[in-house]
């Protein structure tokens, strides 16, 4: 078959990717942690985890899972917004050879119960704000082990305890819950201060049971192997890495990591590139979000139309530019450029939409001149190569 879409590829874009670039996500993580050990990996609420610290904490959580009796291939559910705890527990589970089941923290007890039962999860890590939902789900579902984390568990002292106290006692965002078998995440990490048994993980092993939205029926788990995810990361990196410097970038991650788009495009792809993920826990808090953007230089952001509109309509704190960005996402950027939004400096943007969703990833064309939108296309979800259709450039 003639691959006619290759004629639309920009100069320097490979026709194919190597889906075996890494044997697994475990290998990709460990190589990035070794290569970028002293670089920042994740930032949230004023705290930052380096790649070295991510390595140590995820290793400890993986060792805890093994010590708790979980075997290779067992399902570990994660139910939390974007916090430092997410990558730590995610990679801990993957390094221990287990399968991650991402759970929307806004699920009802019935929805949560279905997903836990259907996936066969044996352990869940949940932010205490949603522990009451887990308690209610346990009335109908057997779940042997529960790890509960507070919002400030991985923040430094005194910021961590203060944040947890404010969320629970002042903002009253933690409904009462009682789960006898629950253990706190700090305790789990302490128990994991032991060697992590090396578990062989290959391309055909299941990395995620990623559940659908359930718009046409009950949510169903899509099986995503390590090979699937490595191929998708290589596809995305082949496109965006042309414009980025390894170990020197920051991507704003406001879209939820429990969704496969941010999981792939933000967390995994930029981890491979040694970048920092700036995690936004509550993107609906637009004033707080804008403050984060104001004080944190960044080179990439992903989002949806409503998020961009809210950001652009928000007044800049103290005046001046709200956003200066070289990489962004979503079709709303086209309207941003057309509007000439004051306070927003978008340069040489080229959006690419991943098929099957509203979210988009866009990036700067390195050889482009002037302010324009270009190289718009759709990326097909397949593993042999990124497939793009180039749209006409337009001056704005």
CATH of the domain at 313: 3.40.50.980
> Do 299 and 389 lie in a common domain?
yes
Pairing relation of β-strands 99-102 and 75-79? parallel
pLDDT reported for residue 310: 87
Structure tokens at 165: 């106290």
> Do 231 and 195 lie in a common domain?
no
Residue 41 in domain: no
| pLDDT 10s digits, 306-364 | 888 888 788 765 555 444 454 454 455 555 545 544 444 444 444 444 433 444 444 43
Phi, psi of 84 (to 5 degrees): -60, -25
Helix axis angle for 226-240 and 25-35, nearest 10°, is 50
Residue 211 in domain: no
Do residues 360 and 330 touch, judged by C-beta distance below 8 A?
A: yes
Residue 148 in domain: yes
Q: Which residues of the chain have pLDDT under 50?
A: 321-324, 326-327, 329-330, 337, 340-396
Residue 111 in domain: yes
Name, in order, each residue with C-beta under 8 angstroms of 280's C-beta and a sequence gap of 6 or more. Answer: 44, 82, 252, 253, 254, 289, 292
Q: Tell me the H-state helices in 182-223.
A: 185-191
Helix axis angle for 305-313 and 286-295, nearest 10°, is 80
Other C-beta atoms closer than 10 Å to the C-beta of 49 total: 23
> Do 269 and 335 lie in a common domain?
yes
In our burial notation (b when 16+ CB lie closer than 10 A, e otherwise), range 72-109 reads eebbbbbbbbbbbbbbbbbbbbbbbbbbbbbbbbebeb
Smallest Cα–Cα separation from 77: which of 52, 57, 98? 98
Give the structural domain span for 191. Answer: 46-201
Q: What is the dihedral of CA 231, 232, 233, 238, to 10 degrees?
A: 90
DSSP 185: H
> Do 239 and 312 lie in a common domain?
yes
Residue 159 in domain: yes
pLDDT reported for residue 335: 56
pLDDT reported for residue 334: 55
Do residues 375 and 350 touch, judged by C-beta distance below 8 A?
A: yes
Number of domains in the chain: 2
Side-chain-side CA neighbours of residue 139 (13 Å): 9
> Do 240 and 188 lie in a common domain?
no
């Amino acid at each position: 078959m003639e691959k006619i879409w290759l004629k639309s590829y920009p100069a320097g874009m490979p026709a194919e990717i190597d889906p075996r670039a890494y044997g697994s996500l475990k290998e990709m993580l460990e190589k990035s942690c070794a290569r970028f050990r002293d670089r920042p990996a994740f930032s949230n609420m004023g705290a930052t985890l380096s790649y070295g610290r991510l390595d140590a904490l995820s290793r400890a959580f993986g060792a805890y899972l093994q010590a708790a009796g979980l075997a290779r291939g067992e399902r570990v559910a994660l139910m939390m917004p974007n916090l430092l705890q997410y990558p730590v527990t995610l990679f801990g589970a993957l390094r221990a050879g287990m399968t991650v089941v991402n759970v929307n923290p806004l699920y009802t007890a019935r929805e949560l119960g279905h997903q836990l039962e259907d996936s066969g999860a044996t352990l869940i890590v949940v932010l205490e704000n949603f522990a009451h939902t887990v308690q209610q789900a346990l009335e109908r579902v057997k779940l042997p082990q529960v790890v509960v984390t507070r919002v400030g568990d991985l923040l430094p002292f005194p910021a961590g305890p203060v944040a947890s106290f404010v969320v629970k006692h002042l903002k009253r965002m933690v409904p009462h819950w009682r789960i006898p078998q629950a253990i706190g995440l700090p305790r789990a990490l302490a128990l994991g201060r032991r060697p992590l048994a090396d578990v062989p993980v290959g391309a055909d092993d299941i990395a995620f049971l990623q559940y659908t939205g359930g718009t046409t029926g009950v949510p169903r788990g899509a099986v995503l192997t390590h090979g699937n995810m490595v191929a998708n990361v290589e596809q995305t990196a082949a496109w965006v890495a042309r414009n980025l410097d390894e170990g020197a970038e920051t991507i704003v991650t406001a879209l939820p990591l429990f969704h496969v788009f941010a999981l792939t495009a933000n967390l995994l792809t930029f981890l491979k590139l040694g970048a920092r993920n700036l995690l936004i826990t509550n993107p609906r808090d637009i004033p707080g979000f804008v403050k984060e953007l104001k004080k944190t230089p960044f080179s990439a952001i992903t989002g949806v139309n409503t998020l961009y509109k809210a950001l652009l309509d928000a007044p800049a704190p103290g005046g001046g530019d709200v956003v200066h960005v070289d990489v962004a996402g979503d079709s709303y950027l086209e309207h941003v450029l057309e509007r000439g939004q004051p306070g927003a400096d978008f340069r040489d943007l080229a959006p690419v939409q991943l098929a099957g969703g509203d979210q988009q990833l866009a990036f700067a064309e390195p050889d482009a001149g002037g302010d324009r939108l270009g190289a718009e296309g759709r990326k097909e979800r397949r593993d042999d190569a990124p497939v793009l259709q180039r749209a006409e450039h337009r001056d704005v």
